[in-house]
């Protein structure tokens, strides 16, 4: 198993608290797939408003975590760090489906599989689970931009 800790993730992505949504990469294979995790705690700032009486992680943030996992895989594959002249942008989503809520105390596991790469466009099939139960699936697209 190849792992990546949060300090290395910060070298690969421009995101920082409260928008860095990957805590650790628990396994990856370059140019193929990556599995990451997000520990969802009651202290997440989004729970203050979504929803105070019954906190649920917003679906758009689950999808963003999937996109961040794709960005990490792309950066690892190309051996690039954030700040080396460019950044990965989340540019598209297809077939997003939400199957179960993600709540405080859950550990979100995100598996991202590279399905297609064409120049600077990377497409991924992503699945997010909690306790081996699927909570979200989506096709994600990212692009690398210089500058």
| Residues annotated as part of the active site | 50
**CA 42 from chain center: how many Å?**
19
SS3 assignment, position 20: coil
What tokens were used for 46? 């989004």
Q: Are 15 and 24 in contact (CB under 8 A)?
A: no
Helical segments of the chain, H only: 6-12, 59-78
Contacts of 102 (CB under 8 A, 6+ apart): 40, 56, 57, 62, 108, 128, 130, 135
C-alpha–C-alpha distance, residues 126 and 24, integer Å: 16
């Amino acid at each position: 198993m190849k792992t990546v800790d949060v300090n290395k993730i910060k070298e690969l992505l421009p995101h920082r608290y409260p928008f860095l949504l990957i805590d650790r990469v628990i396994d990856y294979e370059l140019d193929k797939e990556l599995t990451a995790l997000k520990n969802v705690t009651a202290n997440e700032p989004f729970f203050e408003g979504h929803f105070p009486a019954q906190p649920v992680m917003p679906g758009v943030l689950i999808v963003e975590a999937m996109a961040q996992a794709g960005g990490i895989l792309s950066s690892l594959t190309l051996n690039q760090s954030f700040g080396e002249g460019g950044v990965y942008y989340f540019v598209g989503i297809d077939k997003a489906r939400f199957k179960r809520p993600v709540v405080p105390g859950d550990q979100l596991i995100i598996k991202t599989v590279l399905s297609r790469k064409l120049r600077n466009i990377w497409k991924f099939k992503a699945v997010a689970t909690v306790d081996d139960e699927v909570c979200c699936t989506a096709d994600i697209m990212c692009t690398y931009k210089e500058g």
